[in-house]
Amino acid sequence: MFSRAESTGGANLELWTLDVARVDGEQFDSSVLDDDESRQAASEPPARRLRYLIAHVALRQFLGEHLGVRPEEIIYFRERCPVCGGPQGRPAVLRPPRPVHFSHSGAGDVVVIAIASAPVGIDVEALPRPEAVSEVMGLLHPEERAELTAVATAERSLAFARLWTRKEAYLKGTGAGVAHGLAGEYLGVEGRAELPPGWSLRAVPVPPSYEASAALHSGPDHPGP
């Protein structure tokens, strides 16, 4: 397990990376999960069940340590979506003893978790197949499509995964998610894209063949899209 803490623009951020293949699953007590999480874990295919359990138990453990409560006492709810107003916004902790924001993601054998004092989103992806990149490119911002087209074919999967995790982390952080479209913001290569006001993006260390990014709202502007 890898973890790190940092501060950006007055917002504190803690990041964890867990390699499921190297984690002792017996260290994760599934009894801390709520009924919805337990049902979802049982419905996961065997290949993904351990990753689900580790992600959700670890998140409760980290949140419990952060808030000074027992992991099983944490109650989740969904905030309103900032785009449509529906109940599909950011996941949040009900009546926390202090303000807290969190996000998590999993792919393959990797789980990433972020806990922060401001809205945060995190995403991890395995490097995609070239045909998968071609299928999704048309949904992106025009400048992102141009960016990927300019990359050598052999490097396009890596560039796409890096771009995608930046975009999904930001959209998870705002609470809008990917369901409302991917073309609205240009979040391409670091240093070229103009970030949305008040947001910062950073790469998250993960094992080879994966890419991960975190987005943190650290400015005075409204955290929505």
Per-residue pLDDT tens digits for 123-171 = 999 999 999 999 999 999 999 999 999 999 999 999 999 999 999 999 9
Does residue 117 lie in a domain region? yes
Using DSSP's 3-state secondary structure scheme, residue 122 falls into strand
Does residue 223 lie in a domain region? no
Does residue 93 lie in a domain region? yes
Which residues of the chain are modeled with pLDDT < 70? 1, 25, 190-193, 219-225
Structure tokens at 97: 């003893």
Does residue 120 lie in a domain region? yes
Does residue 47 lie in a domain region? yes
Does residue 100 lie in a domain region? yes
CATH number of 178's domain: 3.90.470.20
Domain extent for 118 = 2-217
pTM of the model: 0.92
Give the count of domains, the chain: 1
The confidence score (pLDDT) of residue 222 equals 47
What is the H or E stretch that residue 94 is in?
none
Q: CA 40: distance to chain centroid?
A: 19
Q: The dihedral of CA 192, 193, 195, 200: what is its sign?
A: negative
Does residue 50 lie in a domain region? yes
Residue 224 falls in which region: left (phi positive, over 0), alpha (psi -120 to 50) or beta: beta
Does residue 43 lie in a domain region? yes
